[in-house]
Chain A
Amino acid sequence: MTLAAATDLAATDFAAATDLAAATNEHLANVSNTLIYSAMAVYTLAFFAYIAEWLLGSRSKVGRTAAALTADQAGKAGKKAAGPAVTVQNAGGTAVLERPQVVTRAAAGARDVPDGPGAHGGDEQGDLYGRIAISLTVLAFLIAFGGVLARALSVQRAPWGNMYEFNITFSTVAVGVYLALLAMKKNVRWMGLFLVTTVLLDLGLAVTVLYTASDQLVPALHSYWLYIHVSTAIFCGAVFYVGAVGTILYLFKDSYENKLATGGKPGRFATSVLERLPASASLDKFSYRVNAAVFPLWTFTIIAGAIWAGDAWGRYWGWDPKETWSFITWVAYACYLHARATAGWKGRKAAYIALAAFACWLFNYYGVNIFVTGKHSYAGV
Chain B
Amino acid sequence: MSATRDTGARTDGRTDENGTGDTATRDAGDLGAAGAQLSTAPRETVMPGSFGGARAPGVTGRLAWTGREVIGWARWIWRQLTSMRVALILLFLLSLGAIPGSLIPQSGTDETKVADFLARHTTIGPVYEKLGLFHVYSSAWFSAIYILLFISLIGCIVPRTWQFVGQLRGRPPRAPRLLTRLPAYTTWRTAAAPEEVRDEALKLLKKRRFRAHLDGDAVAAEKGYLREVGNLAFHIALIVMLVAFAWGQLFKSEGNKLIVEGDGFANTLTQYDDFKSGSLFDTDDLEPFSFVLEDFEGTYEETGPNKGTPRTYQAKVDYSVGADGKEQKKTVKVNEPLDIDDSKVYLTAHGYAPVVTVRDGKGEIVYQQAVPLLPLDSNVTSTGAIKVMDGYKDAKGKQEQLGFQAFFLPAYGGEGTAVVSQFPALLNPVLNLAAYHGDLGVDAGLPQSVYQLEKKNMKEFKDSKGKQLRENLKPGETMQLPNGAGSITFEKGVKEWANFQVTRQPGAGWALAGAFGAIFGLAASLFIQRRRVWVRAVTGPDGVTVVEMAGLGRSESAKVPEELGVLAGHLYDLAPGAPDTPDQPDNDSPDQPGNDTPEPPAVPAEGAETK
Q: Does B518 contact A (CB under 8 A)?
A: yes
Q: What DSSP secondary structure best describes chain B's contact surface?
A: mixed
Give the shortest distance, in Å, between A65 (CB) and chain B (any CB): 13
Contact present for A20 and B378 (CB under 8 Å): yes
Q: Does A312 contact B (CB under 8 A)?
A: yes
Contact of A17 among B188, B304, B380 (CB under 8 A): B380
Contact present for B449 and A3 (CB under 8 Å): yes
0/1 string, B82-103, CB within 8 A of A gives 1: 0011011001101100110111
Closest to B549 in A: A100
A20-B306, A75-B598, A315-B505 known; A106 vs B101 contact (CB < 8 Å): no
Q: Does B224 contact A (CB under 8 A)?
A: no
How many residues of chain A are within 8 Å of chain B by beta carbon?
A: 112
Residues A267-306 near B (CB distance < 8 A): 278, 281-282, 285-286, 288-289, 292-293, 295-296, 299-300, 303, 306
A6-B374, A105-B182, A109-B23 known; A84 vs B565 contact (CB < 8 Å): yes
Q: Does A144 contact B (CB under 8 A)?
A: no
Contact present for B1 and A340 (CB under 8 Å): yes
- What chain B residues lie within 8 Å of A111 (beta carbons)? 18
Give the shortest distance, in Å, between A341 (CB) and chain B (any CB): 6
State A300–B313 Cα separation when bound (angstroms): 30
A16-B377, A314-B337, A316-B505 known; A7 vs B273 contact (CB < 8 Å): yes
Contact present for A86 and B186 (CB under 8 Å): no
Give the shortest distance, in Å, between A348 (CB) and chain B (any CB): 9
Contact of B18 among A7, A88, A109, A278 (CB under 8 A): A109
- What chain A residues lie within 8 Å of B309 (beta carbons)? 18, 20, 22, 216
How many residues of chain B are within 8 Å of chain A by beta carbon?
A: 136
State A23–B88 Cα separation when bound (angstroms): 52
Contact present for B609 and A285 (CB under 8 Å): yes
Contact of B95 among A10, A69, A223, A360 (CB under 8 A): A360
State A13–B585 Cα separation when bound (angstroms): 80
Contact of A324 among B10, B102, B588 (CB under 8 A): B102
Q: Does A74 contact B (CB under 8 A)?
A: yes
State A81–B602 Cα separation when bound (angstroms): 10
State A318–B273 Cα separation when bound (angstroms): 22
Which of A176-184, A194-202, A329-337 touches B?
A329-337
Contact present for A307 and B449 (CB under 8 Å): no
State A315–B109 Cα separation when bound (angstroms): 12
Contact of B522 among A9, A10, A281, A299 (CB under 8 A): A299
State A306–B244 Cα separation when bound (angstroms): 14
Q: Does B577 contact A (CB under 8 A)?
A: yes
What residues of chain B have their CB less than 8 Å away from a CB belonging to chain A? 1, 3-4, 7, 10-12, 14-15, 17-21, 23-24, 27, 41, 44, 84-85, 87-88, 91-92, 94-95, 98-99, 101-103, 106, 108-109, 112, 136-137, 180-188, 245, 252, 254, 256, 258, 273-274, 301, 304-310, 313, 334-337, 344, 346, 348-351, 374-380, 424, 447, 449-452, 499, 501, 503, 505, 508, 511-512, 515-516, 518-519, 522-523, 526-527, 547, 549, 555-556, 561-562, 564-566, 568-569, 572-573, 576-577, 584-586, 588-590, 598-611
Some 17 contacts from A to B, beta carbons below 8 A apart, are: A6-B450, A6-B451, A7-B499, A20-B308, A97-B576, A105-B182, A109-B20, A222-B335, A258-B14, A261-B17, A295-B522, A295-B526, A316-B508, A320-B109, A343-B1, A344-B44, A372-B103
